[in-house]
Amino acid sequence: MKLKYGVVGTGALGGFYGGKLAKAGHDVHFLLRSDFEHVKEQGLKVDSVDGDFLLQPVACYSSAQDMPVCDVVLVCMKTTGNHLLPELLKPIIHEQSLVILVQNGLGIEERLAQEVPHASVAGGIAFICAHKVGPGHVNHLDLGRLILGLHTSTGNKLLQQCQQDFEQAGVPAQLAENLGYIRWQKLVWNVPFNGLAVVLNTTTDQLMKQKETRELAHEMMHEVIFGAKNCGYDLDPDFADKMIRTTEKMTPYAPSMKLDFDNRRAMEIESIYTSPVQAARQAGFEMKKVAMLESQLRFIASQIEN
């Protein structure tokens, strides 16, 4: 069975992962907003450490209404637009479609499964350094691994085939038994470094250089790990130490939320902070420092909006 793929949100992630599938011969349909005209005329360009390529022509669309019904939809936009998903997905999914949220944060599959109850829902976590450098132009600098996990009870076969398709297209892809576990695991790094980089208007290397913020990040990682534990995901506390060591070796880096902040785009506060804080709270654990960072980010967001 050959799957028909849809990509909603053709930025760095959508362009890279969708592009890799299309280049390998899969049937991929891209939804674009601002870059539509450019990609329609000049194609989708991916500069990658694994080899550059240009897709042309691209099956691209400026409206979901124009797209075919797809078996698998990769949602690669920011979670700040997820309230639009029910409307966007309506024309492009059938009763057995699988929607994979390749996004950051927590609680996003739960919400979509409620809003679009007839679809199967999965999550994808991307370990990749890639960014958009121009219209329809992605620069892939490092890594690329994708971890996929099913949220609903249906969709398993589609997800398995999807994983194989990615592997065949040259994207290392794994199936995770437990989506919640890997979502929390990703939060261990995302929670301290995204928010602190925004609130303190800085980059990871500066946060690591200063003893107080390095320790604060470490403590917040432990809070996230305890939050996960209370929610039933038994992360290893040593994972925090490992993440700190990894960050020590990283080149100076502005996390995605910092880039959103600098470009005055909406920040993913809801999925990276609010949902985890609420999940842990409902499980009886108050992530005090994470909640404080959430409040500070909400304040900053309100100042930008005004």
Contact residues for its own copies, defined by CB under 8 A? 196, 199-200, 202, 206-207, 210-213, 215-216, 288-289, 292-296, 298-300, 302-303
Q: How would you label 203-212 residue by residue, b for 16+ Cβ within 10 Å and e otherwise?
A: bbeebbeeee
Output the smallest distance, CB 293 to its own copies, in A.
Answer: 8
Output the smallest distance, CB 227 to its own copies, in A.
Answer: 14
Output the smallest distance, CB 191 to its own copies, in A.
Answer: 13
Query: What is the distance in angstroms between the CA of the first residue and the CA of the last residue of the chain?
Result: 51
Residue closer to its own copies, measured from CB, 181 or 285:
285
Sequence-distant (6+) residues with CB within 8 A of 162 are 3, 72, 98, 100, 148, 173
Output the smallest distance, CB 262 to its own copies, in A.
Answer: 15
Of 248, 249, 265, give the one whose Cα is nearest residue 257: 265
Catalytic residues: 186
Residue closer to its own copies, measured from CB, 182 or 197:
197
Residue closer to its own copies, measured from CB, 163 or 206:
206
Residue closer to its own copies, measured from CB, 93 or 207:
207
How far is residue 77's CA from residue 10's CA, in Å, rounded to a whole number? 7
Output the smallest distance, CB 235 to its own copies, in A.
Answer: 20
Sequence-distant (6+) residues with CB within 8 A of 140 are 12, 16, 46, 47, 48, 49, 50, 128, 129, 130
